[in-house]
Structure 1
Amino acid sequence: MKKNEFQALGISQELAEALHKHGYNEPTPIQREAIPSVLGGHDVIAQAQTGTGKTLAFVLPILESIDPNRSHVQALIVTPTRELAIQITEEVARWAPLKGIRVLSAYGGQDVERQIRKLEGAIHIIVATPGRLLDHLRRETVQLFKLSTLVLDEADQMLHMGFLPEVVEIISATPTRRQTLLFSATMPERVRQLAKEYMKPPVEIEVKAKRVTLDEIEQIVVQTTDRGKLDALCKAMEEDPPFLGMIFCRTKLRATKLRDELDERGYAVDELHGDLTQAKREQVMKRFRDAKIQFLVATDIAARGLDVEGITHVYNYDIPHDAESYIHRIGRTGRAGMTGKAITFTAPRDAFYLEAIEKGIKMQLVKRPGRGGAEARTDERSERGGRQGGRRGEARTAGGRGARGAAGRGAAARADADVQRHQRHAAARARSAGAQRRAAGATARHAEPDAAQRADAAAPEHAVKARCRGAARRAARATVPPHAADAERQRQAPAAAARAARRDAVTAPSAGAAARAGRRARSADGRRSQRRSRSARRQRGSAWAFRRRWCSGARRCRPRTQAGGPRRSGWRPEARQISVT
């Protein structure tokens, strides 16, 4: 019977029956090849496509080889990400109670004291990430000197994430007689070099297929632009709605921004990346597994080993830069014999990465134009023309919605030229009207004397004489005799002198101010003199101190004198005279 095919590989009957109850009727190719070798105690390097059951290929033999009566750690499974550690722990915990085996997951973001308390009991299998495991090793809360089996799952990703020093330190803490297993979908040269250094001659298992990626995954490339990616993604999700879909971005910032934009458009979406706390990451994964959210925007931390039932579509919003990342990303769908769809959105500048991916997976991907091909470029030009037309329409009264295409832009340009031409004509007419008004005013001013002369000629003689007498009286009142002007100046002279005196009194310094200024000046001079005196004393003191130091000891300085003559300038050292009385 099919349920006994696992028994034929060496799996116990109770485990085989439990597998059958959960729908595992026959082993996958990688399980057929790997299980007997692992049960035989050999080191194994296993390579197979994603979604082919690699986890059970090492979990089942480990469960068969562990002795539950021994309380020490007998198997260690190291994974690159927390999500993968949680997933493997759940897989082991599903079958471990059948054998009485206890398992513990140790990864960052959890309470380390709680993990330490759990480690005080009997733990047979530890599933851990490199950083937290090294933390326990340094605290000496985990002992690996009796370890039997070491598993490096997704070893290539651990090296890619820079965990090589940590992996080497973990390996050095295990006994040399251990069994080492390496499982991954890709096996670069660095992983093989690590295997040569730390493994006994391994059994290499590679499940070959016609293509590197699964045939059950339909792979499509949508050609777009960076600006048109969001619209192209929404269009793809609406045309072929997934049950659950994963959207991969290159950076955490891009993932957060895309999540916000999709949330504004009404999609049930959440994000998963390294900046989230561990509690938040677990909460997001639980909601996604329970189908409470339909789309999960994630970075490459969710591209390795993550197995969520119901993922039908994978969207590469940002194209991966190598074939290995592409293989692991699209491997989240089409698992366990199910079908899936992988859609990759590429901009013109992504042509190099697309070519590298096609070369790595050894197949040509189907390319479809989306928003971002000719259609997207036309839409961008139309939208830009529409915005310009709208601004021009605001300048005009009629306005407009903007032209679409080259014809629309040309019509808007012509309309703009008409507006400018009308404005120029209006300004010219205004200038002309102003010139005409100025000319009319000048003509009127020049015409006024002629009108007065004509009025005088038409008026009677007595009216002319009356106007002349009035003009003479006004001229007489306006004329001031010289003696009157001198009298006025003399009358105003005292007041002017008083104003000048007050002004001088305000501006001139008082006697007290003058005295204070003199004291400040004398004080400043005194301070300068004191500073010069102190400087001279310091110089003299330095000279005397130097002489004292130079003449100390067995010799001393004395003034050199002549017999009976005056003391001469200068000094010379002489022997010290000691008299004893």
Structure 2
Amino acid sequence: MHAVPSAGEGSLGDVEPSDANELTTALNNAIAAEDYQLAATLRDRLRQLSGGDAGPPADWQNLGIPSWLAERAEHIGYRFPTDVQRRAAKVICRGADAIIQSATGSGKTLAFAIPLLARLKYPPDAYPEDFQGPQLIIVVPTRELGVQTVMLIYQLFGGSVNAGIPGDPTNMFAYTGPRGIRVKGVLDKEEVLRAKNNGWLFASHVVVGTPQCLAELAASPNPFPLTACLKALAVDEVDAYPKDQKDSLEFVLGQACAQRKQLPKPQVVLVGATLPPEHVLDSYQQQGWVQDAVTLRVGRLGQVPAGLQHRYMVVDEPRKLILMCRQLRLDLAQQGEDTAPARVMVFVGSEEAARAAAMPLRSGLWAEHKVSVLLPHGEEPIQALHAFRDNKASFLLATPSAARGLDLPAVSHVYNMDPPEDSVAYLHRAGRAGRIGSPVKGIVTTLVTQEQVPELLAIAKELNLNLTELPQPPADALTDFEEGNIDTAKKTLDDLYNLL
């Protein structure tokens, strides 16, 4: 067993010394900050964990990724691949079908996206106009995750999501790869109609879509040639598709893998923090959709990101909102001056509950946070995601569907207004914090009634969590008035009015 470097050899600070994902994040951050002493210490520790004795951690180009794509990944903040990204690249780059299971927050999207993009044809070998349909399809369970995936690939293809800041390595002027390559999303009925009737997907290398939209796109009347030139298909969050999506997903897989003249079966990659039951995977293989697949399992099944703090508070149902706000204020008051600003996600059980809670929370947070509400339908999800990602909002109120796969930067606090339905749901909600690249580790707090406590404790036992019970935070307007804290007392009374 290797020893962690002592302070004299170079300190790891508060980085978990046995977590390869956390070490990789810290290594990328140290290099970006030009702290090369810390970077060397982290590099050596990663080398110890992998059993290697020489050489730096493998970068993207050493894994067989084209130089332009490897450089682009580095420029947008992913200098060194994580464990799952390294292992997946070696399999996917040689063209094998793959089934990948890795912890939430470990970088699964890049693990399949970068090596699959590396296998496509680009100018001058082939021009977009030479293809009737996309070379790569990525299937996602929700529109929210689809938007995020489109934006990630857009960046890898040279696009910039920031204003043109001089010298910014992520802007389009620093991109050295092929030009004129495109990624498009088919994530609602309007985009399906545009693709069928108005050439929305013309000359797109990559298409991202939900199963229903992709199935509708490929179906009569006026079917789009979705699979005519397909080289690869990836199914992200493969265990997350509810019953009403599974038929569409299997239709898309069947269409993609159907016999095609002069074209081999496309490469298929299935990815998730958890995987479907064995009989589902066996069925995929029997249908010929997945052939001789290499299965990669990275980390322990059901592993919650390292470094998260898990807490719960027993409250009466009507008081959950007010006590959540008080606890959040208490957490913020206890932070040090140098701590990064809090970024909070709160999960409620349904769209109706999210709409009902939004206005009281906007009133009750004392203008300390701008609240965005992430709902499953309409334009609001896109606006909410952009506002939270771009730091225009610091508090995101979300429904359970938003828990899957979303990689939102630097989430510091996750609150569950009820216990998740099972350990998998808890895993995905908690995984919005403590993600690869996040500078904060995160706190997960679940509010439960006395009757819900056994349910939460069973989840904690299954996930091997160290769960701490919190006392209810106090609030006494009369004491505040007596001590002269008039503003605080008024805010406490406002809480009672707005949140109860």
Same fold (TM over 0.5): yes
User: Shift of residue 231 of structure 1?
Assistant: 2.2
Cα deviation 1:437-467 (Å, max 9, x = unaligned): xxxxxxxxxxxxxxxxxxxxxxxxxxxxxxx
Say if 1:216 and 1:337, in contact at 8 Å, map to a contact too.
no
How far, CA to CA, are the matches of 1:162 and 1:135 in structure 2? 14
User: Shift of residue 334 of structure 1?
Assistant: 0.9
**Match of 2:285?**
196
**Match of 2:396?**
296
**Match of 1:135?**
216
2:103 aligned counterpart, secondary structure:
coil
CA-based RMSD: 2.3
How far, CA to CA, are the matches of 2:298 and 2:452 in structure 1? 31
1:220 aligned counterpart, secondary structure:
strand
How far, CA to CA, are the matches of 2:104 and 2:396 in structure 1? 19
User: Shift of residue 42 of structure 1?
Assistant: 1.1
Distance 1:199 1:152, change over 3 A: same
**Match of 2:387?**
287
Distance 1:184 1:99, change over 3 A: farther
Say if 1:270 and 1:293, in contact at 8 Å, map to a contact too.
yes
What are the residue-to-residue correspondences of 1:347-358 with 2, within 5 Å?
A: 347-358=449-460
User: Shift of residue 363 of structure 1?
Assistant: 2.9
**Aligned AA for 2:343?**
L
Distance 1:182 1:211, change over 3 A: closer
How far, CA to CA, are the matches of 2:238 and 2:276 in structure 1? 9
**Match of 1:183?**
271
Residue 362 of structure 1, aligned match among 464, 467, 470: 464
Larger Rg: 1
Cα deviation 1:358-377 (Å, max 9, x = unaligned): 23312342222326xxx89x
How far, CA to CA, are the matches of 2:301 and 2:255 in structure 1? 40
Residue 148 of structure 2, aligned match among 69, 87, 100: 87
Cα deviation 1:493-525 (Å, max 9, x = unaligned): xxxxxxxxxxxxxxxxxxxxxxxxxxxxxxxxx
Q: Which runs of 5+ in 1 are unaligned?
A: 380-581
User: Shift of residue 185 of structure 1?
Assistant: 0.6
How far, CA to CA, are the matches of 1:22 and 1:48 in structure 2? 22
**Aligned AA for 1:83?**
E
**Higher helix fraction (1 or 2):** 1
Cα deviation 1:414-455 (Å, max 9, x = unaligned): xxxxxxxxxxxxxxxxxxxxxxxxxxxxxxxxxxxxxxxxxx
Cα deviation 1:298-344 (Å, max 9, x = unaligned): 10121011111132111111211101111111111111153111111
1:162 aligned counterpart, secondary structure:
helix
Distance 1:110 1:258, change over 3 A: same
Residue 416 of structure 2, aligned match among 307, 312, 316: 316
TM-score after normalising by structure 1: 0.60
Say yes or no: does 1:226 pair with 2:317: yes
**Match of 1:144?**
227
**Match of 2:105?**
51
Say yes or no: does 1:33 pair with 2:33: no
Say if 2:97 and 2:291, in contact at 8 Å, map to a contact too.
yes
Distance 1:25 1:35, change over 3 A: same
Say if 1:119 and 1:142, in contact at 8 Å, map to a contact too.
no
How far, CA to CA, are the matches of 2:348 and 2:408 in structure 1? 19
User: Shift of residue 65 of structure 1?
Assistant: 0.7
Distance 1:253 1:131, change over 3 A: same
Instruction: Tell me whether 94-103 or 225-234 shows the greater mean CA deviation.
Output: 94-103
Residue 270 of structure 1, aligned match among 372, 377, 385: 372
How far, CA to CA, are the matches of 2:183 and 2:98 in structure 1? 22
Q: Pick 1 or 2: higher relative contact order, CA cutoff 8 A, min separation 6.
A: 2
Say yes or no: does 1:172 pair with 2:254: yes
Distance 1:146 1:16, change over 3 A: closer
How far, CA to CA, are the matches of 1:142 and 1:2 in structure 2? 44
How far, CA to CA, are the matches of 2:327 and 2:201 in structure 1? 52
Say if 2:69 and 2:118, in contact at 8 Å, map to a contact too.
no
**Aligned AA for 1:362?**
N
Q: Which runs of 5+ in 2 are unaligned?
A: 1-54, 159-176, 259-264, 333-340, 477-500
**Match of 1:246?**
345
How far, CA to CA, are the matches of 1:2 and 1:15 in structure 2? 20
Say if 2:58 and 2:81, in contact at 8 Å, map to a contact too.
no
Q: Percent of aligned pairs with the same residue?
A: 30
Distance 1:201 1:82, change over 3 A: same
**Aligned AA for 1:82?**
R
How far, CA to CA, are the matches of 1:210 and 1:78 in structure 2? 23
Say if 2:314 and 2:453, in contact at 8 Å, map to a contact too.
no
How far, CA to CA, are the matches of 1:182 and 1:193 in structure 2? 13
Distance 1:93 1:337, change over 3 A: closer
Say yes or no: does 1:7 pair with 2:64: no
1:227 aligned counterpart, secondary structure:
helix
2:256 aligned counterpart, secondary structure:
coil
User: Shift of residue 162 of structure 1?
Assistant: 3.1
Say if 1:48 and 1:206, in contact at 8 Å, map to a contact too.
yes
How far, CA to CA, are the matches of 1:313 and 1:33 in structure 2? 31
**Match of 1:123?**
204
What are the residue-to-residue correspondences of 1:563-578 with 2, within 5 Å?
A: none
How far, CA to CA, are the matches of 2:184 and 2:93 in structure 1? 22
What are the residue-to-residue correspondences of 1:425-436 with 2, within 5 Å?
A: none
User: Shift of residue 118 of structure 1?
Assistant: 3.8
**Match of 1:105?**
185
